[in-house]
Amino acid sequence: MSRFWKIALIVVAVIVVALIGFRLLHKPEGAAGEGHHRQGAGQDKQSASDKAANGQDNGPVPVTVEPVTKQNVPVYLTALGTVQALNTVTVNAQVAGQMLSINFKEGQPVTKGQVLAQIDPRTFQAAYDQAAAKQKQDEALLGTAQSTLKRNQALVANGYVAALDMDTFRNNVAQLEATVVADAANVRSTKVQLDFTKIISPIDGVAGIRNVDPGNVVTTTTAIDTLTQIQPIYVVFNLPEVNLEMVRGAAKGTDPLEVIALDRADAHPLDTSGVLQVVDNQIDITTGTFKLRAVFANPTSSLWPGQFVNVQLKVRTVDGGLVVPAQAVQRGPDGDYVYLVQSDQTVKMQPVKLAGEVGDSHVMISSGLSVGEQVVTEGQFRLKPGSKVNALKPGQVPATPTSAELDKAKKNQSGGKRHGQ
């Protein structure tokens, strides 16, 4: 290609670029007006959307409301507790011998005085019979000696019996009396050994898994089973030391402090019959807590030794506390608040201070509300301060719109579309 043609192509390219730049910098006024019109329509649509979200176009926002109520509110301290058996007994054999039978069922209740097991009694029965026979023999000898002493006492005055012989008769009687007493003690001892062949439950409780099977030879160190008493039963728990004075002050009343044991999920109470029995006499310096023990009747055996439970200790009751549903309280950057329904059926954000939980579904308010005021419990996500609401009771649904209301809504929607176009 010649030099002339290269220069011509460069000139043409420069002219094309210049024309494109000129058109971009000098748009027709009609196009600009059309752009402004589209932007205004978009703003109108956004304004209409905001109004619909705020309930201005569609009317009041339906929400569920409930009144602030006044009631006596119990105040609880909560902790994690451990269930402990009232009594735990390891049952050992008290004499050595062959185990003939096991008379309890593992994991089943046993009663005080029940025969749990039987050891072969024959050796101990023979020892007892021998001791009883020896006692009878010595009692017979004592009777003979007493008769001889009595007869000779009548003859000693006439000189037929020497005084020295009378001393011998009296000493013989005393010796035989002591022998009979020793025989009686030996009989009791052998009877105790014989009774030990029957292993008796010392408490009412529940039997564990046995450690010995029938036929084995046991000794006095053999643990046959472990019994636990679960009715009543203990629950031991710890509280922070800052609560010590509150608990001690509440415990000075005439009635014992109530204690409730709940499952780990706080879903339902396991036993509500508990009372505080003792507060430990020292604070654990490593944890900064003090130990408490409550006793429960445990009528249904819902509490089991070794179980972990959540504990609620009732320390006092607030008379006339202000209570609202827990779902009414919202969390904001400035703290807790509720949507309060005003007399003109609009809402405002009302700051509140919480004083504690009331059961699983309500909370107590220390300030910010009055009895009878209506607070929103459902539908808060559609509200902002000043929103007009249709206050409904729990479980109530909005009324079906009338034909006139439907026609009005359609006209509003049609007007909005034309405006957007």
CATH of the domain at 331: 2.40.420.20
Confidence tier at 151 by pLDDT (50, 70, 90)? confident
Whole-angstrom distance, CA of residue 56 vs CA of residue 61: 9
Confidence tier at 110 by pLDDT (50, 70, 90)? very high
Residue 385 in this model has a pLDDT that exceeds 50: yes
pTM: 0.64
Whole-angstrom distance, CA of residue 277 vs CA of residue 259: 10
Q: What is the pLDDT of residues 74-96, one digit of tens each?
A: 888 999 999 999 999 999 999 99
Both 25 and 66 in a single domain?
A: no
In a domain, 117, yes or no: no
Summarize the confidence of residues 189-218 as an average pLDDT.
95
Query: CA of 152: how far to CAs of 147, 167, 171, in Å?
Result: 9, 11, 14
Confidence tier at 159 by pLDDT (50, 70, 90)? low
Residue 33 in this model has a pLDDT that exceeds 70: no
In a domain, 243, yes or no: no
In a domain, 9, yes or no: yes
Residue 248 in this model has a pLDDT that exceeds 60: yes
Both 15 and 47 in a single domain?
A: yes
Choose between 341 and 157: higher pLDDT.
341
Q: What is the pLDDT of residue 73?
A: 86
Choose between 30 and 348: higher pLDDT.
348
In a domain, 337, yes or no: yes
In a domain, 250, yes or no: no
Summarize the confidence of residues 347-368 as an average pLDDT.
86
Summarize the confidence of residues 235-249 as an average pLDDT.
94
Q: What is the pLDDT of residue 411?
A: 64
Q: What is the pLDDT of residues 272-319, one digit of tens each?
A: 999 999 999 999 999 999 999 999 999 999 999 999 999 999 988 888
Q: What percent of the chain has pLDDT over 70?
A: 81
Both 380 and 333 in a single domain?
A: yes
Residue 55 in this model has a pLDDT that exceeds 50: no
Q: What's the distance, Cα to Cα, between the start and end of the chain in Å?
A: 58
Q: What is the pLDDT of residue 3?
A: 64
Both 373 and 331 in a single domain?
A: yes
Choose between 316 and 25: higher pLDDT.
316
Summarize the confidence of residues 99-119 as an average pLDDT.
95
Residue 420 in this model has a pLDDT that exceeds 60: no
Both 331 and 387 in a single domain?
A: yes
Both 8 and 68 in a single domain?
A: no
**Mean of the per-residue pLDDT values for the chain?**
84
In a domain, 383, yes or no: yes
Q: What is the pLDDT of residues 168-194, one digit of tens each?
A: 778 888 999 999 999 999 999 999 999
Residue 36 in this model has a pLDDT that exceeds 50: no
Both 68 and 37 in a single domain?
A: no
Q: What is the pLDDT of residue 284?
A: 94
Residue 41 in this model has a pLDDT that exceeds 50: no
Choose between 148 and 11: higher pLDDT.
148
Both 9 and 65 in a single domain?
A: no
Whether omega before 232 lies within 30 degrees of 0, making that bond cis, reads yes
The answer to whether residues 93 and 337 touch, using CB atoms and an 8 Å cutoff, is no
* Domains contained in the chain, number: 2
Summarize the confidence of residues 41-53 as an average pLDDT.
46
Both 339 and 382 in a single domain?
A: yes
How many other CB atoms are there within 10 angstroms of residue 123's CB atom?
Answer: 16
Whole-angstrom distance, CA of residue 414 vs CA of residue 405: 14
Residue 421 in this model has a pLDDT that exceeds 60: no
Whole-angstrom distance, CA of residue 207 vs CA of residue 204: 10
The answer to whether residues 413 and 85 touch, using CB atoms and an 8 Å cutoff, is no
Both 68 and 38 in a single domain?
A: no
Both 15 and 67 in a single domain?
A: no
In a domain, 367, yes or no: yes
Q: What is the pLDDT of residue 47?
A: 47
Q: Which domain holds residue 36?
A: 3-51
In a domain, 361, yes or no: yes
